[in-house]
Copies of this chain bind each other. A is one copy, B any other.
Amino acid sequence: MNKIFIDACQGKDVPYSPVWMMRQAGRYLPEYRAVRKDAGDFLSLCKNPKLASDVTLQPIDILDVDAAIMFSDILVVPLELGMKLDFIPNVGPVFSDPIKSIKDIQDFDPVKCANNLSYVYDMLKITRDRLDDSKALIGFCGAPWTLVTYMIEGTGSKTYANVKKLIYTNPEFIHSLLKVLTESLKLYLEKQILSGADAVMIFDSWASALEKDTYLEFGWKYIQEISTYIKSKYPHIPIIAFPKGVSGYLEEIDGDFDVFGVDWSTPIDLAHKKLGSKYVLQGNLEPTRLYSKDAIKEGVEKIKKVMQNKRHIFNLGHGILPDVPVENAKYFVKLVQDKL
């Protein structure tokens, strides 16, 4: 059975632009909060294939989105490379021993890391079995640059001063770390595909932390490398690239991927003009528009006017916020799917 999401990723004609939402399995859903409570902390949920599969499927059951994205976190990769990771309530992820020098990474082993992530593959297998044939299952990883940033800053940062200081004073060290991550992520995405992922997405949430030339060298280059590896081995699997905050130089963005994820700060008409003929576009409703049905309608209409339901996948331009009414999320999905 054809999956409208996969057809759209491949640029085929589809009856409507398929729709899903970043962080669609998340705190705005009471059903998610219930499972999360049972699982204990956030990492325990990520590591529990059955429960992670349950929350992965919730947005399919509740919202009828066209794709499920596996429930996990980008930071399980540094975790399984051997770093100590905690998710602290109201703070977020924290690496209590951030990376400082080359000796901190000498034991990092990409093969071992990819093997350690078996709980993710188990979850994907269960989920693909449970998921209707018409719906797609999306795997994902964080891009090397975004992971490096967390691993060196230790947690979220306003200025990224530690990692950027190293870029400008010890670039070889940062490249060494990026290379280990790139090797790990190639194997990780490959194993996701072998476990049932129908498409994979690479999140570079902190592309916006670097100026153009620096991002192209320390960020985008490694996404290209991962994409080329996956595309050469699994040409039928769509790859979605999501470097957030590169609206100033979209014309520099190219590689072996199928779909470009447009963040909300990038005007959709600009993305359409610069990248729309080369890549299918995904996005980019402003997440806070979900607070108001009028704002959703206005935003969806603006995007439709540009994209004309061609070579487009609807999504938010960033993750759904925890206090959005579920009713509004449903309204967004139905509006896009012409089911109102």
A contacts with B: majority SS: helix
Min Cβ gap A122→B in Å is 33
A176 within 8 A of partner (CB): no
List which A251-294 residues lie within 8 A (CB) of chain B.
264-267, 270, 286-289, 291-292, 294
This protein's copies in its complex: 2
Q: How far is the CA of A214 from the CA of B264 in the complex (A)?
A: 11
A161 and B321 contact, CB distance less than 8 A: yes
B321 and A288 contact, CB distance less than 8 A: no
A167 and B288 contact, CB distance less than 8 A: yes
Q: Mark A156-173, 1 if CB is under 8 A from B, else 0.
A: 101111001101110000
A248 and B247 contact, CB distance less than 8 A: yes
Q: How far is the CA of A127 from the CA of B165 in the complex (A)?
A: 35
Q: How far is the CA of A247 from the CA of B249 in the complex (A)?
A: 9
* Residue count of chain A within 8 Å CB distance of chain B: 36
A208 within 8 A of partner (CB): yes
Min Cβ gap A295→B in Å is 4
Q: Mark A298-317, 1 if CB is under 8 A from B, else 0.
A: 00001000000000000001
A211 within 8 A of partner (CB): yes
List 22 A-B residue pairs with CB atoms under 8 Å apart, sorted by A's residue number: A159-B287, A159-B321, A161-B321, A161-B323, A164-B286, A164-B291, A165-B291, A167-B288, A168-B289, A168-B292, A168-B294, A169-B292, A211-B264, A211-B267, A211-B317, A214-B286, A245-B265, A248-B265, A248-B266, A248-B267, A248-B270, A249-B267
